[in-house]
Structure 1
């Protein structure tokens, strides 16, 4: 101990003998005053700006968590995500706190790069300099796009803050939308046009696609139309619908021309746990995240009619003759999933293992924590991850070309500009070879709008867009005050549920088990939700943020 004290004292004496020691620049590391003086340092800083896209909840990529706060998904674990989905989220909820912090962390890094990169302008090629700055502006706008849709008005911070200016009031959402659209418009001009979704860098198309999304969400129809049109003009050269829909959610689809922007994962650098979260019990996964049974009843039959109208629907064989995207999105009873016959009937105590070509005990029927709804997510659950379920590196998609097409169609309908291009955009999505659903032909503007709403549900279920759709269409108060259901354990209903104009399923006249009652021949209530229309269309401002910044006013009806 005495030797340690003497050693520390000697160091302090040495330091004190050099009166300017603490003012010297480091010789082997960047300093705050000189960093961003060359291209290498700027690219390092840009990489840091991208790093907040790894924001996650329980090692689940952030954009995918949003579906568990809606009518189509359920979080089994007792967690902040489950509480938020049940309508019990408050200003201390971990998801609410972490997402605010995570998005603003990304914004702060972008601000630092944008504000200080002029130090090295003379040392960097002009085109490279402009591209780095444009990507930082894109990312800053992307982070803000999530903040405004989740929290509403938020502080618009565009510079590095100090203690003197760190307390800021909330900026009206409309002003932040103006900022986002302007940033994405200007940034797109300096971004690469070549679409390479595995490059780790956003392209011009990514900026325009996110601009179209933000404009659509905020009823800026003209901006949504122009931005999506600009991306559509690159169809064929840069973008195209993937002919094989299911490929988009497997590793071999990461470089598809349909993928416009995705988050980059790689074993050894950053991984997620989607196999464990989505996979079945038979396949040694946990099925923590479950699709609602109502979702399975949403997709049309192959004749283009909802299941309560189609003569092709057989309630005793409910997954036959259905839109193929049902089977591409969900693992349904009777299908092969992750190497096993997937069967959730209570009497199916054994199933076939395709990996060993043997019959094995069926955990989907016997395990206490098998899927509560009788379904699993097939998207992003890939059999190649079965031996390393916590080491998945499939890139989750933030935006893809199908969304651009449906954004264009919806904006054109809302703007009163229905023409042949609207039908072409919708039907391209429906008619891709692996889907091949009948074209939409209605000439009624209201019905055409509902057709697009339904198409978004069929196309994007499990990809994290549902929360923002049910909010902006103002149907969250309807769908989120319904119980989330699981299948009858030993049967199927003897008739189809009622399907509404948004493709939501309602089970009037179909038996639903009450608490403590057997669900063998009744629909199981997996979760009950409460949605307060006077409060829950926005998340609260986190408690800790209001304590450190008293200028932040809370959203209505939160404490």
Structure 2
């Protein structure tokens, strides 16, 4: 624990650059006593918390969760280990250390700003102060939600730790979810309700009232499903979740991009048809940039992109990568004829005419299918732009899409307002098929979960959707009996779907931290 929290104060807050509002100049090293005086100081501290969102690599929850789900195998090279361990649920010391450090660093920075912001002289500008407070609470909730989903029992830290006070016991998950819900409610109340069309382009990537409400809906559905609870204590109820999601749907200004394939640069019909890095469907979008220009310490590129790229070769229009998270062919074949989401989501080596040019090389768990949505492209690749394909891929990641919000609305309203739930589902399916003739009559939650599988495929949501349906449902989906050892996957229900806590953190805590069951 000590390594996570010690010496992550204000020093070098802005040593990295990113898109939009994160593109600021570095500052000189200063002491904490000289900081947190002006609104500019508070803004820089806020940006330092946002910058942790860019930390990826093996700390990318979207990638590790995809591999742990039924949608992907580990992939990578035949000598790679980490991805295969997520796929098969095999213990590997410190496999999740990057994620643990990432999230607690973000929590530390958010906590520090929350602690110090009253010392900042905003000269009566309460609106700006309240916004910064709301965004800091949003980020803390975001980081904690990823942590508690991955690890279950985690230390609950709501203020910067003092020297010598690093051995914090793990909290009951109920307490963590109460903090998350309260943080997001505060964020929604403090961040202005600016509709999407009115958001300045330089502020893309900042948390909005709508992002807080949408994340509240996601947190509610996961917590109540995974833990079989009616609500988040007395903090957030089913009615609250419905109201939050309805507000996003009706008042945020976000909407579905007309054609599904134009959501993603790799699947867009053309560069002019691509909806853009910050389009009307991205309710909350993490910003990435190539401006690290080959310096991996900048941590501003989308590292997941190089990991999922086709291994070690360029197949125009796709650029090279490491071949992680090969797609399970059952996902590809599960789509109905005419569903545009199939070919917009997945690269089929044979289906796209690469059978004669593709070289399998040392690709592990080759299935013939790769993730398309965020795969790097040959056109305007990081190398050509002066960076490195290893560190500087730059496609933004849509954490929450408006289609996801519609499906959350359908799920939440299923019992209370079946007609409304049906309408939300219809909007998603109509876009997917390009007509209204493929609608289905909505009668149960299973149909919504299946629609989520097709709509949100390979975006990092499937594993959590399975877990909140129960261990039996997760096992039925994830188990992959195969005579080929590389593809034989058995979901271990004794872990309850939780990841292993990094051994280094357990050791640093002097035994205060306890490993999760099954690991």
TM-score, scaled relative to structure 2 = 0.79
Check conservation: 1:67, 1:467, Cα contact below 8 A. Answer: yes
The equivalent residue for 1:393 is 394
What is the SS of the residue equivalent to 1:147? helix
In structure 2, distance between residues paired with 1:247 and 1:37: 45
Deviation at 1:255, TM superposition (A): 2.1
Pair 171,335 (structure 1): closer, same or farther in 2 beyond 3 Å? same
CA contact under 8 A between 2:314 and 2:378: conserved in structure 1?
A: no
Pairing partner for 1:89 from 88, 91, 114: 91
Q: Note the 1:392-541 alignment, pairs <5 A.
A: 392-413=393-414, 416-432=415-431, 435-436=434-435, 438=437, 440-442=439-441, 444=443, 448-474=444-470, 475-483=473-481, 514-515=483-484, 526-541=486-501
Q: Secondary structure at the match of 1:192?
A: coil
| 1:437–1:384 Cα change, 3 Å | farther
111-120 or 251-260: which moved more?
251-260
Unaligned segments of structure 1, at least 5 residues? 1-26, 301-320, 344-348, 350-361, 484-511, 516-524
1:290–1:419 distance in 2 versus 1, CA, 3 Å: same
Find the aligned partners of 1:330 and 1:28 in 2 and give their Cα distance.
45
Match of 1:285 in 2: 320
Residue 215 of structure 1, aligned match among 214, 220, 241: 220
Instruction: Describe the SS at the equivalent of 1:189.
Output: helix
CA deviation digits over 1:5-28, x for unaligned, max 9? xxxxxxxxxxxxxxxxxxxxxx97
User: Residues of 1 paired with 2:440 and 2:69: CA distance?
Assistant: 30
Shift of 1:110: 0.4
Partner of 1:152: 152
- Quick check: 1:430–1:438 contact (8 Å CA) kept in 2? no
Query: Is the Cα contact below 8 Å between 1:38 and 1:124 reproduced in 2?
Result: no
Distance 1:322 1:543, change over 3 A: same
Larger Rg: 1
Given the alignment, which residue of 372, 388, 399 partners 2:366?
372
Alignment of 1:15-414 (within 5 A): 30-57=30-57, 61-77=60-76, 78-90=80-92, 92-94=93-95, 96-123=96-123, 125-194=125-194, 195=196, 196=199, 199-219=204-224, 220=231, 221-234=238-251, 238-250=253-265, 252-269=275-292, 270-273=300-303, 274=305, 277-279=308-310, 281-283=313-315, 285-286=320-321, 287-300=323-336, 321-333=337-349, 335-336=351-352, 341-343=353-355, 349=356, 362-364=357-359, 367=361, 369=363, 372-381=366-375, 382-386=377-381, 388=383, 389-390=389-390, 391-413=392-414
Distance 2:94 2:341 in 1: 34
Mean Cα deviation higher: 384-393 or 253-262: 384-393
Contact 2:256 2:280 in 1 (8 A): yes
Higher strand proportion (structure 1 or 2): 1
Aligned length, in residue pairs: 442
**Aligned equivalents of 2:179, 2:106: Cα separation in 1:** 17
Distance (whole Å) between structure 2 residues aligned to residue 443 and residue 84 of structure 1: 34
In 2 relative to 1, CA 150–288 (structure 1 residues): closer, same or farther, beyond 3 Å?
closer
Q: CA shift at 1:228, angstroms?
A: 0.8
Residue-by-residue CA offset, 1:306-329 (whole Å, 9 max, x unaligned): xxxxxxxxxxxxxxx341110111
Answer yes or no: is the 8 Å Cα contact 2:75–2:83 preserved in 1: no
Q: CA RMSD in A?
A: 2.6
